[in-house]
A = this chain, B = another copy of it.
Amino acid sequence: MFRRVPRDEAFYGLLGRTAAHTLAAARELPALLGATSDAERKAVAKAIADLEGAGDAATHEVIRSATAAFLTPFDRADLITLARALDNCLDQIELAADLVRLHRLSTFPPRVGRQVDTILRMSELTVEAMPRLRSPESLADFWIEINRLENMGDKAHRKLTVEILEEYATDPITALRLLLVVEALEAAINAFETVADTIEGIAVKES
């Protein structure tokens, strides 16, 4: 009998692939907010949904690999937790995009653009972090910066709820539609924080 000895590289590669899909999806968000027709919104939301499907496939491959493998770079349960946390970032981005399309929203308070910028920056940082998972304790700059961005995003989110309810004081249905979208964007921002917290937890355990 031969023991299959997976190369750890495979794990980093798969996590890196999910992170890359997440970044690609985040890069579509400005086009979605700026779209001027249903057809345009539909096309962008479709592109993001395709990326989300690809991210899902990579996540399931990580989890299946963890099952079959005799060796994993770190604790199997942590690896799965991290893979799922990463997957959730793209899930929330896809949800936000789909809500924009389904509710046919074309006008947004300016601060929504800043939430999208935060998601974009978090996606870039996460792509850069994945290959550095070989030494999780070296990622302190990553989890500190993600936490800082999340904090800013959180404060912006609160102000967004005020802006939306003031601007649409006479149109509560549109206010509700926008609140659903900004809640999904906030959930995406929180999802990146969970990734950072998970990595920090792994670093603490491995230290």
Chain A residues engaging chain B, CB cutoff 8 angstroms: 63, 66-68, 76-77, 80-81, 84, 95, 98-99, 102-103, 137, 154, 158-159, 161-162, 165, 168-169, 172-173, 175-177, 179-180, 197, 200-201, 203-205, 207
Contacts and interface: CB of A to CB of B under 8 A. Distances in A.
Given A63-B204, A205-B76, A173 B169 contact: yes
Tallying the copies of this chain within the complex gives 3
B162 A84 contact: no
A154 B184 CA distance: 13
A168 B137 CA distance: 52
B158 A177 contact: no
Contact of A175 (B154, B159, B176, B201): B176
Nearest to A174: B165
A204 B161 contact: no
A177 B158 CA distance: 11
Contacts of A77: 201, 204-205
